[in-house]
Amino acid sequence: MSFVEYGDTIQDGDTAIVFLGHESMFPVKVQHGTVTQTKYGVIRHSTDLIGKKYGSKVTCSKGGWVFILHPTPELWTMNLPHRTQILYSTDISIITMMLELKPGSIVCESGTGSGSLSHALIRTVAPTGHLYTVEFHQQRAEKAREEFREHGVEHLVTVTNQDVCKNGFGVSNIADAVFLDIPSPWEAIGHAKSALKAEGGRICSFSPCIEQVQRTCLAMEEYGFTEVNTLEILLRVYNVRTISLQIPDLGKAAEDNSSTGFDSSNSSNQGSPCANLQQGTVQFKSGVPLREMVGHTGYLTFATKS
């Protein structure tokens, strides 16, 4: 199993996603002799998972059933253990596009955090690219290394435990892109410039507060970055539901015809829609936005090394 290479069969040691519904799923490490409890009953790894194909429908001990899915960066973002606040697919998608990432790209990231963006970056630059990710917190860095190893992507990522604002990324003039998600990104702009390739490298900084954005933009201009722009991605979810509306009473057809000067005996007016219109209700599908939803996540500031 690998997050960047699809496998057909569930193997001992794999990370799989137990899917109970769109709002209910969780990751599980497949191990021989282990069981997993769900609201539908027990899943026995040895008999119910190992050797089965990903996507299989598994019946639990109480008679209910679940699907076992192959892990992807998108599913991992929805189910990973939170060590820090994470980036979600809405921001991740625009980051990978605006940084112009592709297979073979070299990317520097700080900080690693819970690894949500890291897995998406690794999948994007695989199989020949590489991610250099820096995490200030030692325990989080060690946990990230462990997860990358379990997910079969350790050959595509290098995890470093250090302060990027003081010590940089540990590489020079090789990165196609740099991503910053730290409290004071303006202090790391100089190191980001050093890590980027000689010309044309892209940088992105994620900050929740506009004051952070202002200081970061000033630092980017000071270090000679061009095409500096900031954007915010807002996700608005709609519920599709059936609603009923009353048909308006437009009056009798004869009265309408006389008031407008039409001859009711005129055969061209026979069968008019107004003649057969009766007051009642009509049902139709409508999209309605949620009353409460996640709005602001953060500001994304992009720039290009001149």
Tokens 């917190």 appear where?
Answer: 137
12 is in an annotated binding site: no
Torsion of Cα atoms, 7 then 10 then 15 then 21, to 10° = 100
- Residues β-bridged to residue 62: none
Output helix, strand, coil percentages for the chain, rounded to the nearest 5. 30, 30, 40
∠ CA 100-105-106, nearest 5°, is 115
Any binding-site annotation on 51? Answer: no
Residue 91 is assigned to a ligand binding site: no
Nearest to 18 by CA among 47, 46, 51, 60: 60
Which residues sit opposite 41 in a β-bridge? 38
**Does the annotation place 249 within a ligand binding site?**
no
Give CA torsion, residues 264, 269, 270, 274, to 10 deg: -100
Confirm whether residue 156 is marked as ligand binding.
Answer: no
116 is known to lie in a ligand binding site? yes
Instruction: Point out which residues pair with 18 in neighbouring strands.
Output: 26, 68
CB 29 within 8 A of CB 150: yes
Task: Determine if residue 300 is labeled as part of a ligand binding site.
Answer: no
- Binding-site residue numbers are 114-117, 135, 163, 181
- Binding-site residue numbers for S-adenosyl-L-methionine are 114-117, 135, 163, 181
